[in-house]
Structure 1
Amino acid sequence: MLTESSRPRTSSDMLDVAAWIGRNAYTGSRPRPLTGCDGRTVALVAQPNRLVQHKAVVLARNVGAELRKIDDATWFGYFHRAADIVDRELSAGRVTPVARAISATTGLPQLRVERGIAAVAHHLRRIEDIMSVQAPQGDLAAYRTGRVDAPWAWLPAGRTCMVRVPGNFPTIQIEWLQTLAARRPTLINTSERDPFTAGVFVSALYEAGLPDGALSMCHGDVPTWLNLADQIVWPGEHAPSMEPSRLKTYHFGRSKAVLLDDHPDPRTWDRLARLAFQGSGRLCTNVSALAVTGDAEAAAAQLARAFNAYPVLPLDARAARVPAFPDRELLRALVREIEREIAGGAVDVTARDCDVPLLVEIGDSAFLRPTVLLTDAGSPLFRTELPFPFTAVARVDRARLDEACAHSLIVSVIGDHPEVVELLAQEPTITKVFADDAFDRGYDPVDPQEGYLSDFLFQKKALLPRRTA
């Protein structure tokens, strides 16, 4: 998968991370050093200049028509072969140095990184299903022809698309992979902390036969791309200021669960804990708050016991699930925020059952102990998400559940309560409601995620007279 020109080269344990301008790896002359959680330099990251960025845009503009001419079997075959390549590289251990670097720079446990990469490869094998649910009448051919059974055509809203890829967890790569699967030439802008993961899939796709220019990847600031890309997808913070028609953003998840029964199935607590720990607590689908209509203190105690089954471990331990913090300023700010809440009357329920302090140091790495906090529904910590396994628990009146759960990506209703599901589904700022045995379903790319990505990438155009194939 990684050729001599594209494979991250090691000097001791340090990687050289190339950008990609089409199918060509670009190293540049002034790479940026990237440090890990322990302060040591992990990689030297290429920083393409404006001229190089412009070349990538030209390649993307020129290849768009070619991508729409490729038949569906060939097109989606690129994604399937790329999945095979990534799986083979994972099995052979050739992705291990990259996973180790991602772990060091993001603070994610190494095994979680490798499994996240494997999960993306699994998504690639389902790419037709992921894209068909977003197409008119489920017709994959519409992505290349624009023809639909309607008095309008379904056509690209731009020729090129830039996707900013956050560094929270490897599975976020599916965002730019969907953009590419929609036959849109894609400019990938990686985050400061993870310039590695996207390259694994760019390399595999080009090895699988993807046409030159369909993908380019740059790290860090990309002013030329921001100016020239027709459309921009920007999950996470610090979105650029531009006309709304060019920009699609995603808000924080702030996902929540609702418990209406004082005595749920005993397995509920382990399932809630797993939902909090998926992606090491760095996913927008993690349960960040639990609204309880009954005994909130008892519920918090049960959840805290389930949390305590996940100890803080070194990042290379196979059982590690808790992330470290490469950003010590952020770490200190989170400690202050939680301690301020406790001083105001909140209860650190997790601390009752364990003697592990909130701030944990292992070697040169720093962690926050997974925490269940009993607080009030009006607390800011009940309405936010933190980048580690953390759940705020509060009592909420049943009639005010929609208000308490507003502005949430997912609300999980535990138990069979169709009237509550309907109440929450009617709240415009709640994106998904899961209930019954599906309450901990989590993310699946076939679901709309604040709408479907294709709703942004394509537009309906009146086209008369209509011509049939």
Structure 2
Amino acid sequence: MTASAPARLDALGASGPYRSRNLEQVHDVTGGLVAELSLVPWLYAQRTLRALRAAAPPDPARREEMLVEAGRLFATGTVDGVDAETFHRTVAAVSGMPITAVREATQRVGDYAAKACASVQMARPAGAVTDWRDPRARHGCGVWTRRGEVFVVHAPANTPAVHSAWLDALALGYRVAIRPSRREPFTPHRLVCALRQAGFADDQVALLPTDHETADRLIAEADVAIAFGADDVVRKYQSSTLVLPQGPGRSKILLTEGVDVARHLDTLVESVAGHAGTGCINATAVFVEGDPRPVAEAIAERLGALPSLPPLDERARLPVSEVASAKRIDDYLQSKVDDAIPLLGGGTVVDELGDGSAVLRPAVFLLDRADAPQARIELGFPCVWVAPWSRADGVAPLRDTLTLTVVGGDDTLITELVEDPTISKVYVGDHATTWTRPGLPHEGYLGDFLMHSKAVIVG
């Protein structure tokens, strides 16, 4: 990636691309310089948000046409002069995510864009309509309306697929400003360019790379916002009604008594290591009703066979990071092991490739009780804690979970899990925690946050 001059990634404001004097260098996992990203000052960002707020959204039918086309362009087309394969290679080199996983995530975003306008309607209350001119409003009904006009996205860098999350807002008529991660800005830059290439005006969707201080001011200036991050982000915004925090997923699997582990091993491995284990929907804990050791050993055997390869290798399945970053992650992990029994990753998870980068190898640890604190640890690579569980433990160890896959179980248990407000998704049966499709709620429907219903009667 360093053989040629670094790319220039401009900010994308309400009046077109903006090239700043304040540039952030973006490196690949070997330390090579790949791009220079323009960081915008606060006054520029503020003017952009005000221009977005003053703009009117396209009509719904036109929004749908443009989102479908943008999805196609983003996934397979040439956008801002960059073809899809060049984009895949750049993201893999910078993020360390295997190129096959980058391709899959890119396609997922494109597919979601094509279905966003239909998907958002899944969140609309059955008694509400989308327009006050609907004939039902003559007798009085609910009208589903936006809570504001400008939606700000504080985006992460763990996977390109995360950028499907904010397309709902465009489908609903919001104007959207994305503050990209400075570690991997290529995905949101390409997606905003694809949306503009498909017909969205510059005052409909913007890309505003900033420093951390300006990022906080962007969220404060927004009508509504979404912020991705760790537990500190959740704590920072959890009391706000205008900011939706998206923290760790802590996704889990429960295997109840009598389950044939061999039959479900592919699902267990996919849940832990699918998409290189980088997502909030990857399982970080497996609870076993009975002896957890055979389950942990089976997972460790499969994950231990995965090769250590650079991210551009078609056979790569594990994430790669700069060596220093990988060692920091490893230091944190080893400091938390305590009395857990390592089956993989006990000495180190860092496997240096000799070019300044290192593979983060899988880690599998055996715990001796369901409420062990390690079961809440989520890291951006395949790392799983396997623990015993009994009916006496109840649902407490399974709480605070994005996706919970339950294999086996009776109606009483499933009902309790579905009714628990801290568990966002319950998959019953042989379904990987990574499974999803457009139209399903993630941490609830985003439309629940972006919209509200008001009573209207006309005539």
TM-score where L is the length of structure 2:
0.89
The amino acid that maps onto 2:342 is D
Q: Determine which of 73, 98, 119 is the counterpart of 2:108.
A: 119
Deviation digits for residues 182-218 of structure 1 (CA, Å, limit 9, x no counterpart): 1100111111211110111111111111133110111
| C-alpha contact 1:134 1:454 (8 A) present in aligned 2 | yes
Deviation digits for residues 145-182 of structure 1 (CA, Å, limit 9, x no counterpart): 79977644322211211011111100110122111111
Give the drift of 1:387: 0.7
Q: Determine which of 403, 417, 427 is the counterpart of 1:424.
A: 417
Give the drift of 1:292: 0.5
Distance 1:127 1:144, change over 3 A: farther
| Map of 1:361 onto structure 2 | 352
| Map of 1:14 onto structure 2 | 6
Q: Determine which of 268, 279, 284 is the counterpart of 1:283.
A: 279
The amino acid that maps onto 1:244 is S
| Map of 2:329 onto structure 1 | 334
Q: How many residues are matched? A: 448
Q: Determine which of 304, 307, 310 is the counterpart of 1:311.
A: 307
| C-alpha contact 1:146 1:155 (8 A) present in aligned 2 | no
| Map of 1:134 onto structure 2 | 123
| C-alpha contact 1:103 1:109 (8 A) present in aligned 2 | yes
| C-alpha contact 2:145 2:451 (8 A) present in aligned 1 | yes
The amino acid that maps onto 1:406 is R
Give the drift of 1:126: 1.8
| C-alpha contact 2:152 2:222 (8 A) present in aligned 1 | yes
SS at structure 2 position matched to 1:349: strand
Q: Structure 1 CA distance, aligned partners of 2:396 and 2:200?
A: 47
Give the drift of 1:80: 0.9
| Map of 1:47 onto structure 2 | 39
- Over the residues paired in the alignment, what is the CA RMSD in angstroms? 2.9
SS at structure 1 position matched to 2:262: coil
Distance 1:26 1:146, change over 3 A: farther
Q: Structure 1 CA distance, aligned partners of 2:438 and 2:377?
A: 23
| Map of 2:67 onto structure 1 | 79
Q: Structure 2 CA distance, aligned partners of 1:225 and 1:302?
A: 47
Q: Structure 2 CA distance, aligned partners of 1:88 and 1:154?
A: 34
| C-alpha contact 1:147 1:153 (8 A) present in aligned 2 | no
Deviation digits for residues 27-61 of structure 1 (CA, Å, limit 9, x no counterpart): 22221112222222221000112232123112211
Deviation digits for residues 215-251 of structure 1 (CA, Å, limit 9, x no counterpart): 0111133355233211111122353669712211123
Q: Structure 2 CA distance, aligned partners of 1:335 and 1:379?
A: 20
| Map of 1:5 onto structure 2 | none
| Map of 1:196 onto structure 2 | 186
Q: Structure 2 CA distance, aligned partners of 1:185 and 1:407?
A: 32
Distance 1:439 1:119, change over 3 A: closer
Distance 1:59 1:423, change over 3 A: same
| Map of 2:375 onto structure 1 | 382
Q: Structure 2 CA distance, aligned partners of 1:53 and 1:147?
A: 41
Distance 1:214 1:446, change over 3 A: same
Task: Flag structure 2 segments of 5+ consecutive residues without an equivalent.
Answer: none
What fraction of aligned residue pairs are identical, expressed as a percent?
25
Distance 1:360 1:455, change over 3 A: same
Q: Structure 2 CA distance, aligned partners of 1:29 and 1:399?
A: 61
| C-alpha contact 2:283 2:433 (8 A) present in aligned 1 | no
The amino acid that maps onto 2:339 is G
| Map of 2:262 onto structure 1 | 266
Task: Flag structure 1 segments of 5+ consecutive residues without an equivalent.
Answer: 1-8
Give the drift of 1:323: 0.6
Deviation digits for residues 419-446 of structure 1 (CA, Å, limit 9, x no counterpart): 3212222322111111123354623342
SS at structure 2 position matched to 1:225: helix
Q: Determine which of 250, 275, 278 is the counterpart of 2:246.
A: 250
SS at structure 2 position matched to 1:295: coil
SS at structure 2 position matched to 1:166: coil
Pairing 1:163-178 to 2, within 5 Å after superposition: 163-178=153-168
Q: Structure 1 CA distance, aligned partners of 2:25 and 2:264?
A: 45
Q: Structure 2 CA distance, aligned partners of 1:317 and 1:195?
A: 22
Distance 1:163 1:351, change over 3 A: closer
Give the drift of 1:252: 1.2
Deviation digits for residues 252-277 of structure 1 (CA, Å, limit 9, x no counterpart): 10000001135515231111101112
Give the drift of 1:116: 1.1
Q: Structure 1 CA distance, aligned partners of 2:127 and 2:192?
A: 27
SS at structure 2 position matched to 1:61: helix
The amino acid that maps onto 1:350 is L
TM-score where L is the length of structure 1:
0.87
